Chains A and B, each alone.
Chain A
Amino acid sequence: MMFTVTTFAVLIALGIALVRAFLGPTVFDRILAVNSVGTKTVLLIAILGFLTGRPDFLDIAIVYALINFIGVVAVLKFVKYGDMASSGDGGEPT
């Protein structure tokens, strides 16, 4: 029962984050929305594991969290420097 309620809560939060990703007037709204969708995905996968009685999927959820983090860092780097290969030293933020 507890997991069911949590699943619905996560799904609603996922929907709200998606609406922000669709509407988001600025770039940062969308980046934050995508990051938040990724977090909700991690939570959803973890809860689904417990909901179906197979909590082995917890490792996968942790790996998703890492992928999400790396992806957001790469996107933010692109937004700030306009270039993936920039080291960030001395380059003027544009």
Chain B
Amino acid sequence: MIITLVDIALLTFMGATAFAILRLRSLFAVVMLSGVYSLLAASMFVALDAVDVAFTEAAVGAGISTVLMMATLALTGERERPSRHTPYVPLAVVLITGAALIYATFDMPPFGAADAPVNLHVAPRYLNDSFAEVGLPNVVTSVLASYRGYDTLGEVTVIFTAGVAVMLLLGGRKGDDAGIKNEPPEDDTGADDGGSAA
């Protein structure tokens, strides 16, 4: 009961934050509010008993993303250009899609139901046999490291590649740093490029 109220309050806060992000034109405020949104989402995940997901959300969404967005803001402008058209058609598409998705949830089994298809497929075998087959007390670790080993290997490859790319972008040309900093006009053109590309 109290947990339900906490869920409702957190979802309300998340919705309000999303609308504030939409309405604000100061990109600094938008970055701050997206950090707030990540923290609220992390609380929501904890309330839903997904502690590991909440941990990832807090580290990636609230921690690293905010810092990277700040670094981006240092290179581009701080104001969003006002849009010149009124996006009624996209709004209608989003509303219709959302209504269809909400309608589809009526056919879903209740949250956490034991006889839901997702809990009948392979989950019982993981829960019953994974200790004998893999020998790890934590079922999630068994699934990630053994049953889904190739999937995890692919994920690690993707993360490694992304890390290498980010390091190349951020730290690849230390010799040019002084030249970039001393040329404010170049920064202005950079900001225009960023605005038009977005």
Question: Measuring CB to CB, which residues of chain A are less than 8 angstroms from any residue of chain B?
Answer: 4, 7, 11, 14-15, 18, 21-22, 24, 27, 30-31, 33-34, 37-38, 41, 44-45, 48, 51-52, 57, 60, 63-64, 67-68, 70-71, 74-75, 78, 82-85
Contact B3 A38 (CB under 8 A): no
Contact A14 B32 (CB under 8 A): no
Contact A45 B55 (CB under 8 A): no
Contact B16 A70 (CB under 8 A): no
Secondary structure type dominating chain B contacts: helix
CA distance A70 to B58 in the complex (A): 12
Q: Could you write out 15 A-B pairs with CB less than 8 Å apart?
A: A15-B9, A22-B20, A27-B28, A31-B32, A34-B35, A38-B39, A44-B46, A48-B6, A57-B51, A63-B55, A67-B62, A71-B62, A71-B67, A75-B66, A78-B73
Contact A45 B43 (CB under 8 A): yes
Residues on the A chain within 8 Å of B46, using CB: 44-45, 48, 57, 60
| Given A18-B17, A74-B66, A41:B29 Cβ within 8 A | no
User: B2 interface residue, CB < 8 Å from A?
Assistant: yes
CA distance A37 to B13 in the complex (A): 11
Contact A51 B2 (CB under 8 A): yes
| Given A45-B43, A70-B63, A71-B62, A30:B71 Cβ within 8 A | no
Contact A18 B55 (CB under 8 A): no
| Given A18-B17, A30-B32, A67-B58, A78:B43 Cβ within 8 A | no
CA distance A78 to B32 in the complex (A): 12
Q: Per-residue CB proximity of B1-35 to A under 8 Å, as 1/0?
A: 01100100100010011001000000011001101
User: How many of chain B's residues touch chain A, expressed as a range?
Assistant: 35 or more
Closest residue to B2 on the A side, CB-wise? Answer: A4
Residues on the A chain within 8 Å of B32, using CB: 21, 30-31, 33-34, 75
**Which of A21, A24, A71, A78 makes the CB contact (< 8 A) with B74?**
A78
User: B191 interface residue, CB < 8 Å from A?
Assistant: no
Contact A84 B74 (CB under 8 A): yes
CA distance A38 to B3 in the complex (A): 20
Contact A71 B35 (CB under 8 A): yes
What's the minimum C-beta distance from A87 to chain B, rounded to whole angstroms?
12
Residues on the A chain within 8 Å of B20, using CB: 21-22
